Amino acid sequence: MISSGFSVADTDALAAAETELERSGLAVRRGSDIESRSRRVREFIAFDDPFGNRIELVSQQETITRPVAFARQAGITEFGHLCLDAPDVHEAYKFWSTRFNARVSDWIGDAACLMRIDPVHHKLAVFRGDGPGLCHMNFQVATIDDVFRNWNFLRSHNV
């Protein structure tokens, strides 16, 4: 199952989130030590949002100080945003705004809600879809040439 992960400040924040989510009626599962090690975090909790998207909140994520060594140069400079699918984007916004203090940056009609959880325009988006799922992930690149180089790479590999 695909999971989307978000880091919280510390162990106390993770415990508070666990309590709040359980109070709201969500089934929350604490990850095992083995699962935590495989994710390179100290600990985590997992739950499904009201639409069936698996979400994990993690504490003390390991930081890698060296750049990731991709098989080819992709020009990626940082993570951009995560986009999930849900059948009702207004209900999804209510969930993310009341549970995680996400704030709307833009609506694309009834088809999508772009939300910020930090100063960036949006780190989370929800697009209308038939069911749960990962719609897309966005990574920032250094130049427009990187965009087209990656686009051509994907096209040449029938992606």
Domain boundaries along the sequence of the chain = 3-59, 76-156
Residue (of 15, 58, 64, 13) closest to 39 by Cα position: 58
- Can you tell me the mean pLDDT for 27-34? 97
Output the pTM of the full model: 0.86
**Angle 131-25-95 (CA atoms, 0-180°, nearest 5)?**
50
Contact 127, 112 (CB under 8 A): yes
Average pLDDT of the chain? Answer: 94
CATH number of 3-59: 3.10.180.10
Whether the domain at 3-59 and the domain at 76-156 fall into the same CATH topology: yes
With bands split at pLDDT 50, 70 and 90, how would you rate the model's confidence at 122?
very high
Model confidence over 58-90: pLDDT tens digits?
Answer: 999 998 777 777 788 888 888 899 999 999 999
Q: How far apart are CA 105 and CA 110, in angstroms?
A: 14
- Can you tell me the mean pLDDT for 118-143? 94
- Can you tell me the mean pLDDT for 32-44? 96
CATH fold of 76-156? 2,3-Dihydroxybiphenyl 1,2-Dioxygenase; domain 1 (3.10.180)
The pairing of beta strand 76-86 with beta strand 103-108: unpaired
